[in-house]
Structure 1
């Protein structure tokens, strides 16, 4: 049975959680973004307890972790280091959300993680048909690159919420963009894919344009800070991929954002980090 088939079996467990309560950007240690948390050791079943929604969540999370472990064992870490770092970061966030009982937040993040892992699996299959993903000869250099990718993921994917109907970037996130630009100028094999998002307010066409404006505004400031425009791809998904489901003011705020992927072009000497 393929990973896709296994994940489909567990998808119904996740679907039952969409209408449950949620909380966005909780305090440190109570869910949070989880970039620096220690991965919790979750079991899909609790002994001597009746089955409930959290068991389904833990099972779904467990399947996703096994899929990532399998991809790493096949060499994904060596050919797609940026994708693996971002998947591991998402895993840590989900672990903290489950620990804090933030089941809807965890449900949304598991959906995103599974989509990213399926994409990574397809990329890895393509590459391994042509070559092998093996550890680089200069492992110290690779570990240094991985640390930079982790730092960029942290800088670029937090505190980037936008005001209603606005593309203006808040000062704190602008500082993150400046730091990221300086790092990227030193590591020319790392590029960015910036995806704009909007909340559900307004028409789908307007939100598509607004989300693209946010992505392009991020690109604009990165260029101002010295990064070559050619290294930044901009995309828009409008309102179609919310970070969190719901319609409260706090949820709409977190859905007005950009999401940024780090794209590494230094993988076995070939540009394997393609969309």
Structure 2
């Protein structure tokens, strides 16, 4: 099916000209750049590229919706959230069936509705709470959650060579982990930046710290409190693998993230039987 790229580009242009909520602003409050939605620049009638770009924006809408649900939107505005979930599913089917113009329109409308929902939710939760009481996790459940978040945050392919810019795939991982960390607020993070062995030692230490700081920055944009995150830099001194092949360097350009539970708080919510040795 041939799709008019100019038509889709116009829709997306309108998308980015619409107001973005606080979630999509940079940490330094420069609203002109959207940090979640990848700008769509169509240079040719490449059908596959158009589909992939729209798929990415659908995923960003989904992450936004998931975050709002975790903040309490499901309980404050159940009808709106239900409709948003239905809309996400419909757009997914449109993408699957290559109905790109319909999908682009749907993504635009969903984006604006989620911004409105976020604004209303922020107002409501500033006045009151409409979340049900959180269920207390058992000790084993806490360990499972910690392992899951650690696996998400320590996935591979995080940075390009000589760069602190986060790869889009890893950025989605950060958003996924942030949603879990917002629920399990007894967990804190220690982020350590690393580099590969190219370049001099001092530069690599600086680059490693920039990587750790950038990851912290995005996690805060996704909703985490800065005081829950500390950063360190080890440069090239602790590689995952020895050597300097392209594959090894890619693996060594990373941040390693340790999950630090507030065990005093965690244990205070548990019964003795939950963690007693048997």
Normalised by the size of structure 1, how large is the TM-score? 0.46
Instruction: Specify which structure has the higher proportion of helix.
Output: 2
Normalised by the size of structure 2, how large is the TM-score? 0.46
Q: Based on CA coordinates, which of the two structures has the bigger radius of gyration?
A: 2
